[in-house]
Amino acid sequence: MSEENQITRRKVIAGLGAGLTTGVASPVFAAAGTMQEDVTTQGLEDPTTKYPRPPFKGQSQPWPGLAGQMDPKPDHGEKSYKGSGRLKGRKALITGGDSGMGRAAAIAYAREGADVAINYLPAEEPDAREVIALIKAEGRKAIALPGDIREEAFCQKLVADAVSGLGGLDIVVSNAGRQQAHQSILDISTEQFDWTMKTNIYAPFWIIKAALPHLQPGSVIIGTTSEQATDPSADLYDYAQTKAATTNYVRSLAKQLGPKGIRVNGVAPGPIWTPLQVSGGATQEKLKSFGGQTPLGRPGQPVELASIYVQLAADDASFATGQVYGAAGGSGHP
């Protein structure tokens, strides 16, 4: 082949290559541009600055505290949680549904299409009314069931009233909890110890027992445990014990109820900004720096766990049982 022909051949091949590159690359670049536009529309959020960071103001409330009086107010998903119908037609009972993770779960469940009954203490009525209004705004049934779960008879009535009001029951979220900080075991009275145990351990036992006859295959039970179950704080002696117990009952019940088609899982938060902290669950010193020790440098907000409660309740998580899902801001627990 002459040198002239070789040069001509190289030009043709180079031209074909350039044409092919242009023809193939253009759609890729167009797609990439579209993707970039979508990402820009959705926005990326830096988790370290997404929510308030310490130092926080010193503040205290009498037990059990109200989210509406906290500064800053927690985000339970009132405006930020968007549903997609993942729990359409489901019927949920949530204890401690007025604030904290229970409120976040209630809002998320309603926006995912579920009817929701919430339990709370009568002193928490102002917070509870807000939750009921948010559930109803989604066109879902909202059942308010105030009362003290430290009594077995009330727990039995709670379940019966939830079943009656909702027309059935297939999601039970045992979330209500009592947390009080004490520097020494010597500072905890038998009455206080009993209060924590009755709220955090006895109540789920009574509620689950009452609910089981109503739960069909495909139903779920979700317990709220904590990073305290595996890494207890020195000043949460009694509370931490109850969370270790919660983790264990989740795993035990999952084995017991698995053959019946009922899944049992747990959610283990790290430091989350809830009324527990301002009503005796943390010292004023710890409150001011609350969550600052996490790798993200801040406490979590209840809404940041809402999607976990949804996932554990949804049918597409049908192989997840006996699991504990954590959200602790990078501390590695559970």
Can you say whether the dihedral through the CA atoms of 108, 86, 207, 318 is positive or negative?
negative
Of 333, 331, 334, 332, nearest to 294 by C-alpha is: 331
In whole angstroms, give the CA distance from residue 173 to residue 151.
Answer: 18
Angle between helices 303-313 and 100-111 (to 10 degrees): 60
Q: Which residues, other chains included, contact 114 with Cβ-Cβ below 8 Å and sequence gap of 6+?
A: 87, 88, 89, 90, 91, 92, 140, 171, 313
Known catalytic residue: 239? yes
Of 50, 102, 105, 58, nearest to 298 by C-alpha is: 50
Tell me which residue has tokens 């009362």: 147
In whole angstroms, give the CA distance from residue 168 to residue 178.
Answer: 28
In whole angstroms, give the CA distance from residue 318 to residue 132.
Answer: 29
Cα-based distances in Å from 1 to 5, 6, 15? 6, 7, 20
In whole angstroms, give the CA distance from residue 242 to residue 17.
Answer: 68
Q: How many CA atoms lie within 13 A of 230 on its CB side?
A: 15
Catalytic residue among 109, 239, 249, 309: 239
Can you say whether the dihedral through the CA atoms of 142, 148, 152, 154 is positive or negative?
negative
Tell me which residue has tokens 């009275």: 189
**What positions carry a catalytic annotation?**
239
